[in-house]
Amino acid sequence: MTASFEELLRIGAEADVSGWDFSWLDGRATEERPPWGYARLLGERLAGATASLDILTGGGEVLAEAPRFPALAVATESWPPNLARATELLHPRGVAVVADPDEPPLPFADSAFDLVTSRHPATIHWEEIARVLRPGGTYLAQHVGPASAFELIEFFLGPLPEQRLGRDPEREARQARAAGLEIVDLRTARLRIEIFDVAAVVYLLRKVIWWVPGFTVEAHRDRLRDLHEQIRSEGPFIAHSSRHLIEARRPG
């Protein structure tokens, strides 16, 4: 029997949104993966590093997939529920998890790491990345690109033409160069998202809180009902995520 609108709202509202694992969405939403395989690349680079830093590690889920870590491995995170999850996953692997407010400066010495990584950082402080990298060291990251999931975001907030221009990969590359880094690789991908029910929408907007600031089920009930009816009549809600892989190097 198909769940009712109210039941779907309840399911999405009660789901655990701590950490950065989206497996709860299995069967409720799908998203294409970027072709470069960031988790695999990350594991390869960690295996060859001597000191690594993962910035804004979330719940540590992606970092924890690495087969091995260097002798010195550190991760930072700013959100307390994610800090707890990351500590649980990463401390047994020998990775130190440090609370950091995601504001400069990073709490580390100059030239402390030969590898700095990040997956979907909310902000990128290029001067700090350059400062903590050793000469010859590498920054490898997967960033969220422009207008990612904006079909869903604009369904709730209306058109956002200026915000669509943010997170431009070429602009980020220029900022990295301005901080003294060399761009080694820059790849982009636009990826299809399919959302099968409104429970998934509630879960996503509770978890990715910057998509629709101040989201609550009660405040957005009318638009949630509109979306529920649209999915029932037209099929999955289609959106697109935007990602780019960026590799930068501090000159030796």
User: Would you list the domain boundaries of the chain?
Assistant: 5-249
Question: What was the pLDDT predicted at 173?
Answer: 98
Question: What was the pLDDT predicted at 219?
Answer: 97
30 CA to centre of own chain: 16
| pLDDT tens figures, 184-218 | 999 999 999 999 999 999 999 999 999 999 999 99
Dist. CA 90–CA 95, nearest whole Å: 5
Residue 137 near residue 161, CB atoms below 8 Å: no
Q: Is the pLDDT of residue 1 over 80?
A: no
Question: What was the pLDDT predicted at 81?
Answer: 87
Banded model confidence at residue 108, pLDDT cuts 50, 70, 90: very high
Write out the H or E segment, with its range, that includes residue 130: helix 126-132
Q: Is the pLDDT of residue 79 over 90?
A: no
Give strand ranges (E) for 56-199: 72-77, 96-99, 113-119, 133-144, 182-195
Within 8 A by CB and 6+ apart from 44, the residues are none
The average confidence (pLDDT) of the chain is 96
Query: What backbone phi and psi angles, to 5 degrees, belong to 107?
Result: -80, 50
Banded model confidence at residue 30, pLDDT cuts 50, 70, 90: very high
Question: What CATH number belongs to 5-249?
Answer: 3.40.50.150
Question: What was the pLDDT predicted at 102?
Answer: 92
Residue with tokens 């929408």: 201
Which pTM value belongs to this model? 0.91
Question: What was the pLDDT predicted at 19?
Answer: 79
Q: ∠ CA(127), CA(132), CA(136), 5° rounding?
A: 100
Instruction: Determine the average pLDDT of the residues in 38-49.
Output: 98
Instruction: Determine the average pLDDT of the residues in 99-126.
Output: 96
Question: What was the pLDDT predicted at 245?
Answer: 98
Banded model confidence at residue 161, pLDDT cuts 50, 70, 90: very high
Strand pairing class (182-195; 237-249): antiparallel
Question: What was the pLDDT predicted at 18?
Answer: 84
Q: How far is residue 167 from each of residues 24, 35, 44, measured CA to CA in Å? A: 27, 20, 26
Q: How many helices (H) and strands (E) does the chain have?
A: 8, 8
Instruction: Determine the average pLDDT of the residues in 3-8.
Output: 96
> Of the candidates 235, 1, 36, 242, which has an alpha carbon nearest to the alpha carbon of residue 120?
242
Instruction: Determine the average pLDDT of the residues in 10-38.
Output: 95
Residue with tokens 């700013």: 78
